[in-house]
Amino acid sequence: MNNKERFIELLRATGRENIDYVIEDLDALGFFEAPASVRNHFNHPGGLVEHSLSVYDAAMAIREAMIKLKPSVESQLKPESIAIAALLHDVCKADIYNKVQRARRNEIGVYEKYDEYQVEYSRFPAGHGEKSVFMLLRSGLDLEDDELLAIRWHMGPWDLSQNSIDQERNYRSAQKFSPLVPLIHMADSASASILEADVTSA
């Protein structure tokens, strides 16, 4: 099973109404061919779906560890909510990459062409986590409040404006709203910084 097939199968397994519309809309935007970033983690075609699956795997592993340490959180960490929030947290990136061709000197000093991605926000400049939420609601997905907040705040404190006390208070309240919110942020960080990184021994 390739990454696209696994992603679709996990989403369909949630049994959520209109999930096929979400998959169709993502496909039309190029989600399955997009990279996860320009220069950092998974910056190759298909990197975005690979990153989303990696965040899902990390989230399920963290869920299991948290339930072992604190069994009472199980009811607030439903597997289908983990699937929805982890797999769909970065759909905002589906339409932001343009492939451009550049030239560079190779090892023997000869210029060669290579492909690179450039970020272009103008198609729907609505932010990051909040853009993912808008896109999913537009596709008809009925998000639960905890899933919506987990997607909105998946960047954790990195997405806070220093000029907005209101935003900071909303973020802090969201953290307490459900353990799903900090869990998805943890899984995103663990995936990008550990699972997807070239970790070499020091």
Shortest distance in whole angstroms from residue 42 CB to Fe ion: 10
In angstroms, the CA 104 to CA 83 distance is 41
Phi, psi of 118 (to 5 degrees): -120, 145
Strand-pair partners of 114 = 102
Shortest distance in whole angstroms from residue 154 CB to Fe ion: 6
Are 23 and 31 in contact, with CB atoms under 8 Å apart? Answer: no
How many residues bind Fe ion (CB under 5 A)? The answer is 2
DSSP state of 195: I
Shortest distance in whole angstroms from residue 98 CB to Fe ion: 19
CA distances from 162 to 117, 125, 128, 152, 193 (A): 29, 20, 17, 17, 24
Shortest distance in whole angstroms from residue 86 CB to Fe ion: 9
Q: Is 196 in the site for Fe ion (CB under 5 A)?
A: no
Amino acid identity for residue 53 in this structure: L
Which CB, 6 or 20, lies closer to Fe ion? Answer: 6
Q: Is 147 in the site for Fe ion (CB under 5 A)?
A: no
In angstroms, the CA 140 to CA 85 distance is 15
Applying CB under 5 A, the span of 20-28, 56-64, 88-96, 114-122 interacting with Fe ion comes to 88-96
Shortest distance in whole angstroms from residue 19 CB to Fe ion: 20
Residues 170-189 that bind Fe ion (CB under 5 A): 188
- For residues 34 to 73, the per-residue mask of contacts with Fe ion, x marking binding by CB under 5 A and - elsewhere, is ----------------------------------------
Q: Is 90 in the site for Fe ion (CB under 5 A)?
A: yes
Shortest distance in whole angstroms from residue 155 CB to Fe ion: 6
Which CB, 67 or 195, lies closer to Fe ion? Answer: 195
Would you say how long the chain is, in residues?
202
How many helices (H) does the chain have, and how many strands (E)? 8, 2
Structure tokens at 158: 């990195």
Interface residues toward Fe ion, by CB under 5 A: 90, 188
